[in-house]
Amino acid sequence: MYDWNDLKAFLAVAETGSTLSAAQALRVSQTTVARRIAALEAATSLNLFERRQAGYALTPVGEAMLASAIAVRDAANRFGEAAGARSRDAGGTVSLTTMEIFAVTILPPILRDLRAAHPAIHIHLDTSDEPRELAAGAADIAIRSSKQPTGAGLVGRRIADNPWTVYCSRDYADRHGIPHTRDELAAHPFIGGGGGVWEPYQAWLRQYGLEESVVMRYDTASGLLAGVRAGMGLTVLPAFLADREADLIRCLPPKSEDSTGLWLLTHERLRHVPRVRLVLDFLATELAKLGRG
C-alpha cells in the first residue's frame, strides 16, 4: 500500500518535471517531495523516474503508471465534490427537543439565524416536559440541562455551565429589596411551577427548606417567567438563561457543588446525517458564544 500524499508528489513531479516546482505547487519542501517519490518507488518496487541534472523524467514504467495515478486523483476529487455538495445541499426537517423555558428565550434568535443561513433546513421544535428518547427516534437533537445526561447511544457535548439559583425582577427589588440569605428568602413569596422546570426547581427549594414559600404556581415555563418579570415574587431559574434576562437580578450565587451543565445531544446513528450535523454545529457555535458571554 502507498500513501496518498506520495501519489500526489508523483503526479506533481510528473506534471512539472522537477521536485522544486512540485514542492512549490504542493506547498511543501523540495526534500519532502523527493522523500515521497522515494517512498512510493519503495512501496511499489518500481523505478518511476530517471534523476537527471535537468530534472526528473518519467521512466517507461512511470509513463505507464501515470494514467492510473490521474484516475485515482480524479476519483478523489469527485468524492470531495460530492461530499461538499451534500453538505451544502443538506435539507429537510430536523426535530429539536428542549425545555420550554429555553425555547421561548435563548433559542428564537438562534433559530432565526439558522433559517437565514440554511433555508433548506426546517426545524420542528418540541417543548415536552418529559425528556424525549433519542434512541427511539422521538427527536433528532436535544438541548438538556443536566449534571450528566443518560440514555442509550447519546453523543454530544457540554456547551456551558448551567447551575440553578434564585432571581427576582428589578421592579421587585426596588420595592422589596434583594434577599441574600436563607432567612431573608423565607420572608419573600416564591412563584413555582413552570412545567419541566419544576423538578430541579423543587429540588433547590428542598435544599433551603423553602417549599412552603411557594404562593403561586404556573403550568408553563413562559408563565413562570411572566410572573417573575411582573414582580410577583422570587423564582429559581437556570443561570445560563436567567443571567441574560435584563429584567432579572440574581439574589444568591449558585451553590459551588452544582455541576449542572447545558448539553447538546444527538443519537450516535444520526451524528453524521448531513442535516443533523449542520444543525448540531450551528447550535454548538451559537450556544457556546452565549456561554462565553
Tens-place pLDDT, residues 203-239: 889 888 899 999 999 988 888 899 999 999 999 998 8
In angstroms, the CA 182 to CA 209 distance is: 9
Sign of the dihedral through C-alpha 119, 124, 126, 127: positive
Q: What are phi and psi of 91, to 5 degrees?
A: -150, 175
Task: Tell me the three state secondary structure of residue 105.
Answer: coil
| Close Cβ partners of 271 (under 8 Å, ≥ 6 residues apart) | 155, 277, 280
Judging by beta carbons within 10 Å of its beta carbon (0-12, 13-18, 19+), is residue 206 exposed, middle or buried?
A: exposed
pLDDT of residue 142: 94
- CB atoms near residue 177 (< 10 Å): 13
177: left (phi over 0), alpha (psi -120 to 50) or beta: left
For the chain, give the mean pLDDT.
89
CA 157 → CA 132, 138, 244, 274, distances in Å? 17, 20, 22, 18
Nearest to 234 by CA among 257, 218, 250: 250
Specify the pLDDT at position 216.
Answer: 92
Structure confidence at residue 293 (pLDDT): 65
pLDDT of residue 141: 95
Q: Provide the angle, in degrees to the nearest 10, between the axes of the packed helices 4-16 and 19-26.
A: 120
What is the per-residue pLDDT for 111?
A: 95
pLDDT at 135: 85
10-residue block means of pLDDT along the chain (293 residues)?
Answer: 86 92 91 93 92 89 92 88 64 90 92 92 87 87 88 88 92 94 92 86 88 90 90 92 92 85 92 90 91 74
Specify the pTM: 0.67
So what's the pLDDT on residue 148?
85
Whether the CA torsion 230, 261, 131, 283 is positive or negative: it is positive
Q: What is the tens place of the pLDDT at every residue in 83-108?
A: 666 655 567 899 999 988 899 899 99
User: Of 116, 253, 124, nearest to 179 (Cα)?
Assistant: 253
| 197 DSSP assignment | G
* Max intra-chain CA distance, the chain: 94
**Number of C-beta neighbours around residue 236 at 10 A:** 27
The C-alpha R_g of the chain, in whole angstroms, comes to: 30
